[in-house]
């Protein structure tokens, strides 16, 4: 059988500003060439000190931050703001989040999460000599469907979109649905192992098709430009 | 380490109308209690004969079908129609698809894919005595992000949304992002094993949190009502 494994990396310590994430991950995971390392945004933001101070007694004190981190507000309902961030992500509250952070602090999105992914990838290579792919994941809602899922906000060492255009299906006909956002599918798969409150902020996915390893970034390949978008 | 496996089920034959899908899957996969079986929509539609006749020489001959299968058109651009189906799904071309089907035929969505999932689950139990969860998956695009990913269009034996409201994070604070669409994350994970043209229409996910097994349906739990939706 075709087989992949999703391994949650346990025992990671609390991550502080300036932490060597790649080093800490290497201490807690046995990485193999071709593994895809999925690192949740929160610990990346903490390591990069992408944090802001908020009033711990005011549950809405992060709202001015949401406005500041947004380049365009798409929808508002009550306290909820769906906006486009400077990175081009469309998500709730500009990706700002108060859970699993110190009281009185809010985690922002990393400045450039593709760069964050490249740094972790380079750090793993430098420390162990092992070439892995890295995805930085975050938890976004979707229109039309209830519930949140994890998606990729940064990547390195992997094709974000695998283009099957021109390949033929089992009937010899050219495929129609073709460009698969494998980084998002990998981020979603990793979340199955990273229990939300269980303190597993990193997962390793092993057995990924080697043809998917390559170059690209979420910003360049996954973020859809407003001109191409039918819902902006 | 927390560990899940994604196993692509190989060697499945071409599925004909009336095929006993559960029986065929059981012949090709060694299923364990608590496994999540992810079955791609195309073979479900074939087994249920949810097919329509189209002119094989006219690449747009399925467009009237798209109108017929839609209850509301959200956007049009060129030949692309984004619409809401009678099931409440918002997707391109009402989920109608010409790839991997016989020439001159188009696959429609199953009439009720939660029922399809229940039937497969019951069929597996009847044949082997093993209790599995079943997800019927399909490939949808998304606004704001390029590329398609697999999502659940039907489920049985699993909580579609796992509600973490009220649980506390590692800092003892109540979690904020809470309702995880695990059926969609499982569908996405399965697609990593089901190569689009490689003839792997079923995957088994092993090691899923037993607390997620339960009752619910995609129609009831995942489809967001238009009144709650900010983008319809």
Mark whether A147 and A43 lie in a shared domain: yes
Q: Which residue of A has its CA nearest to B163?
A: A147
Boundary of a domain, candidates B60, B84, B109: B109
The answer to whether position A231 is within a domain reads no
Mark whether A20 and A74 lie in a shared domain: no
Band of residue B97 on the pLDDT scale cut at 50, 70, 90: confident
pLDDT, tens digit (0-9, with 9 covering 90-100), for A92-129: 999 998 888 888 999 999 999 999 999 999 999 999 99
**Which chain A residues contact residue B173 at CB under 8 A?**
98-100, 103
pLDDT at A53 over 90: yes
Are A12 and A198 in contact, with CB atoms under 8 Å apart? no
Mean pLDDT of B152-156: 98
Alpha helical stretches, state H, chain B? 21-28, 41-47, 63-69, 113-128, 182-193, 218-221
Element at A24 (helix H, strand E):
helix A21-28
CATH number (domain holding residue B174)? 3.30.1330.100
Mark whether B33 and B125 lie in a shared domain: yes
The answer to whether position A229 is within a domain reads no
| C-alpha B136: how far from chain center | 3
The dihedrals phi and psi of A115, each to the nearest 5 degrees, come to -65, -40
The answer to whether position B232 is within a domain reads no
- End-to-end Cα spacing for chain A: 42
Mean pLDDT of B76-101: 91
Mark whether B193 and B215 lie in a shared domain: yes
- Min Cα distance B134 → chain A (Å) is 16
Band of residue B172 on the pLDDT scale cut at 50, 70, 90: low
The answer to whether position B228 is within a domain reads no
The answer to whether position B230 is within a domain reads no
Mark whether A66 and A42 lie in a shared domain: no
Pairing between strand B2-8 and B179-180? unpaired
**Which chain A residues contact residue B188 at CB under 8 A?**
149, 184-185, 188-189
pLDDT at B173 over 80: no
Are A147 and B160 in contact, with CB atoms under 8 Å apart? yes
Left if phi > 0, otherwise alpha if psi is -120 to 50, otherwise beta: which for B141? beta
pLDDT at B166 over 60: no
Residue in B52, B160, B54, B59 with CA at minimum distance from that of residue B109: B52
Partner residue facing B7 (CB), from A2, A74, A222? A2
pLDDT at B214 over 80: yes
Strongest mean pLDDT among A4-8, A168-172, A177-181, B228-232: A4-8
Mark whether A103 and A207 lie in a shared domain: no
The pLDDT value recorded for residue A214 is: 96
The answer to whether position B229 is within a domain reads no
Mark whether A96 and A116 lie in a shared domain: no
Exposed (0-12), middle (13-18) or buried (19+): which is A179, by Cβ within 10 Å?
Answer: middle
CATH number (domain holding residue B77)? 3.90.1660.10
pLDDT, tens digit (0-9, with 9 covering 90-100), for A41-51: 999 999 999 99
pLDDT, tens digit (0-9, with 9 covering 90-100), for B98-148: 888 888 999 999 999 999 999 999 999 999 999 999 999 999 999 999 999
Mark whether A118 and A194 lie in a shared domain: yes
Mark whether A40 and A124 lie in a shared domain: yes
Range of the domain at B67: 51-109
Partner residue facing A145 (CB), from B171, B209, B224? B224
The answer to whether position B78 is within a domain reads yes
pTM for the whole thing?
Answer: 0.95
Tell if the CB–CB gap between A4 and B1 is shorter than 8 Å.
no
Between B190 and B226, the more confident residue is B190
Band of residue B73 on the pLDDT scale cut at 50, 70, 90: very high
Mark whether B158 and B175 lie in a shared domain: yes
Apex B113 CA angle, B112 and B116, nearest 5: 100
Report chain A's mean pLDDT, rounded to a whole number. 91
Band of residue A180 on the pLDDT scale cut at 50, 70, 90: very high
Residues 31-70 of B with CB under 8 A from A: none
The dihedrals phi and psi of B79, each to the nearest 5 degrees, come to -85, -10
Mark whether B129 and B211 lie in a shared domain: yes
Mark whether A99 and A118 lie in a shared domain: no
Element at B203 (helix H, strand E):
strand B202-206
CA-to-CA separations, A44 to A24, A32, B138, B168, in angstroms, rounded? 12, 22, 32, 21
Boundary of a domain, candidates B109, B127, B158: B109
Band of residue A130 on the pLDDT scale cut at 50, 70, 90: very high
**Other CB atoms closer than 10 Å to residue A183's CB: what's the count?**
34
**Other CB atoms closer than 10 Å to residue B55's CB: what's the count?**
10
Total domains, chain A: 2
Boundary of a domain, candidates A87, A109, A131: A109
The answer to whether position B68 is within a domain reads yes
The pLDDT value recorded for residue B145 is: 97
% of chain A at pLDDT higher than 70: 92
- Does A159 contact B at CB distance below 8 Å? no
Pairing between strand A36-40 and A133-140? parallel
pLDDT at A171 over 70: no
CA-to-CA separations, B16 to B25, B29, B44, B75, B104, in angstroms, rounded? 14, 19, 10, 34, 15
Tell if the CB–CB gap between B99 and A224 is shorter than 8 Å.
no
């Amino acid at each position: 059988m075709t087989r992949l494994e999703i391994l949650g990396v346990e025992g990671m310590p609390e991550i502080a500003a300036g932490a060597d994430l790649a080093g800490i991950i290497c201490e807690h995971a046995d990485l193999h060439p071709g593994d895809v390392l999925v690192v949740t945004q929160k610990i990346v933001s903490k390591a990069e000190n992408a944090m802001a101070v908020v009033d711990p007694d005011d549950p809405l004190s992060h709202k001015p931050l949401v406005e500041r981190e947004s380049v365009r507000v798409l929808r508002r309902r009550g306290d909820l703001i769906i906006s486009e961030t400077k990175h081009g992500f469309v998500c709730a509250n500009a990706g700002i989040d108060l859970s699993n952070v110190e009281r009185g602090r809010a985690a922002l999105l990393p400045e450039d999460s593709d760069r964050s992914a490249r740094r972790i990838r380079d750090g793993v290579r430098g420390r162990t000599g092992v070439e892995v792919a890295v995805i930085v994941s975050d938890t976004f809602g979707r229109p039309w469907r209830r519930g949140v899922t994890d998606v990729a906000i940064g990547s390195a060492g992997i094709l974000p979109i695998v283009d099957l255009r021109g390949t033929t299906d089992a009937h010899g006909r050219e495929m129609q649905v073709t460009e698969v956002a494998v980084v998002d599918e990998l981020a979603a798969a990793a979340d199955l192992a990273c229990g939300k409150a269980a303190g597993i902020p990193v997962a390793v996915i092993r057995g990924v098709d080697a043809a998917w390893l390559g170059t690209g970034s979420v910003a360049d390949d996954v973020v859809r430009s407003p001109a191409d978008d039918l819902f902006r």
